[in-house]
Amino acid sequence: MAYPLPVASLLAPFERRVLHPWMNRNVRTIPAPESVYPALLGYSRAPRLAYLHIPFCANHCLFCGFYRNKAGESVMGAYVDRLIEEIAQDGQREGIRNAPIQAVFFGGGTPSALSAQDLNRILKALHEHLPLAPDCEITIEGRVAGFDDEKIAACLEGGANRFSIGIQSFDTALRRRMGRKAAREEATNFLADLVARDRATVVCDLIYGLPLQTDEIWRSDVALCHDIGLDGVDLYCLSLHAGSPLALSIDKGALPQAADNATAARRYREGGELLEAAGWTRVSQAHWRRTPRERNIYNNATKTGADCLAYGAGAGGMLAGHRFMQESDKDNYEACVANGQKAISAMLAPPPHHRACGKVMEALENGALDLAGLDQLVEPGFSQALSPLTEHWSGQGLTEQRGSQLALTAHGRYWHNNIAAQLFALIGNYIDGPQTTTGNMPEGGHPPGIPRPVHPASKPQGHPHEHVT
């Protein structure tokens, strides 16, 4: 049975960007998640991913909402011991080898803050204990400062084949103001050296919408990615996290306001146009590649709801539609692992119709939604019931109708998470009937009282990573 859709309540311009369209107030929490985890491994399906969280940074960058622990050799070494122990424990679980791992992402925090030895031994533990696919994409996220030749060599020797470097901006004054230490020349030389080694894919991320960022700075940053010869680049919109140093600086008047949505959306569009004019290909909403070597497996798959194993304090994962977060306190995490426990602090049941929603998200990331296919995913007649909303989106300059394809414009791609959030809610409404919160996403698209899992897909501000990430 199909139910009427409350489309009229959604016919208004978007005002605030949704960050996490998968999250809503109708999703229930799972009690005793650590006992559910082993069974979920048996239901997991390909593609399977893995995320490792390194919750240490040399300093707290202004734009980052994910800072946790000050980097220090002894404390990081002890953490790595437990991280490897957790990986080994998971490697013994029944179901862990049901599907090969197609991509691994080291996020943070700042993975490159670890010593060369610790980076290498984590990589070797992954190969020893987990079923990595022969062509597994293994990404090390890092920043320019402190990522020396010894660490890079240790990563390459351990099997890393992709580096994601948090640049945010190449402009020296802006970098310094945001808490980045390396100047423009240092950042460009570092990336150029990685590219010249020709042993791994090299990508970076840029942020648009920063305070003090001008149109000239933004265009120069994007052009420099091409000049350096990078394989790929992420263009991320700044997300101001309440209580972050950047938000506090703006509140105190020490920095001007961040860019408004009109300016941010324009910079997103112009950045993409500059890259595409130079021969780059857009492979998702926020990612462009220059060479086929850049596969972007991890980021593409996480955004569409793929299964993801999680290791480390504060890491977020997904199994059979269940999102979970590990204990974020480093000491509590280490104690759990030492006791042989999976340190899961919270787990959410799959949102309604998560498989259909995953297909929708995949289509939106690719830039076009097949309306005929949407009827097959949901129920016959769904696309017709949506027509007042799709006409509204077209009127707002968000979409263009191309036969059965609803193509997102650059403006629509900027707002793609909002479009996804509305579609997710309406899919459930059409199949299950009216929901008390249909169309009403909480701030940021995240249910209250549940910690936010940390991995690059949940860091649209550009990895502090970003996930930053």
Residue 74 resides in a domain: yes
Domain contains 455: no
State residue 466's pLDDT score: 33
Q: In this structure, is residue 150 part of a structural domain?
A: yes
Q: Both 294 and 359 in a single domain?
A: no
CATH classification of the domain holding 120:
3.20.20.70
Asked if residue 255 belongs to a domain, the reply is yes
How would residue 72 be classed by pLDDT, with cut points 50, 70 and 90?
Answer: low
Per-residue confidence (pLDDT) for residue 69, from 0 to 100? 59
Residue 405, beta-bridge partner list: 370, 402
What's residue 109's pLDDT? Answer: 87
| pLDDT tens digit sequence for 10-35 | 999 999 999 888 776 567 899 999 99
Does 183 lie in the same domain as 70?
yes
Kindly state whether residues 278 and 417 are assigned to the same domain: no
One domain for residues 297 and 388: no
Whether 72 and 131 share a structural domain: yes
- The pLDDT of 56-60, averaged and rounded, is 69
Cα torsion for 464, 420, 358, 298, to the nearest 10°?
Answer: -20
Query: Are residues 368 and 283 part of one domain?
Result: no
Work out the mean pLDDT of the chain and round it to a whole number: 89
For residue 150, pLDDT over 50 is answered with yes
Tens-digit pLDDT profile for residues 317-344: 999 999 999 999 999 999 999 999 999 9
Q: What count of residues does the chain have?
A: 469
Per the omega criterion (within 30 degrees of 0), is the bond before 47 cis?
yes
Per the model's pLDDT, the better-predicted residue between 62 and 202 turns out to be 202
Domain total of the chain: 2
pLDDT surpasses 50 at 276: yes
d(CA 252, CA 283): 39
Residues 11 and 66 in one domain: no
Structure tokens at 427: 């899919």
Give just the sign of the alpha carbon dihedral 304, 467, 418, 276. negative
Distances in Å between the Cα of 305 and the Cα atoms of 55, 81, 122, 145, 296 are 23, 30, 26, 33, 15
Entry pTM: 0.90
Closest CA to 115 of 94, 142, 88, 136: 142
187 within domain boundaries: yes
- Choosing from 281, 302, 323, the residue where a domain stops is 302
Give residue 399's domain range. 7-15+353-438
On whether both 357 and 289 belong to a single domain, the answer is: no
Q: What is the pLDDT of residue 63?
A: 53
Please compute, for residue 119, the number of CA atoms within 13 A of its CA located in the half-sphere on the CB side: 30
Strand, coil or helix: what is 277?
Answer: helix
Q: Tell me the C-alpha to C-alpha distance, in Å, between residue 208 and each of 85, 143, 170, 243, 251.
A: 39, 18, 12, 20, 20
Checking if the pLDDT of 64 tops 70, the result is no
Q: Among residues 49, 132, 89, 109, which one has the least CA distance to residue 343?
A: 89
Look at residue 98 and tell me if it is in a domain.
yes
103 lies in the same domain as 136:
yes
385/12 Cα distance (integer angstroms): 17
Q: Does the structure show a pLDDT above 60 at 445?
A: no
Q: What is the CATH number of the domain that holds 430?
A: 1.10.10.920
Pairing between β-strand 48-54 and β-strand 307-311 as defined by DSSP bridges:
parallel
331, part of any domain: no
Same domain as 221, residue 149: yes
- Is residue 144, in this structure, part of any structural domain at all? yes
pLDDT at residue 256 above 70? yes
Whether residue 141 is found in the same domain as residue 267: yes
**Which pLDDT tens digit goes with each residue over 153-190?**
999 999 999 999 999 999 999 999 988 889 999 999 99
**In the predicted structure, residue 225 carries a pLDDT above the cut 90:** yes
CA–CA dist 321, 324 (Å, integer): 10
Share of the chain above pLDDT 70, in %: 88
280-311 residue pLDDT tens? 999 999 999 999 999 999 999 998 889 999 99
Nearest to 26 by CA among 433, 462, 459, 381: 433
User: Is 391 in the same domain as 293?
Assistant: no
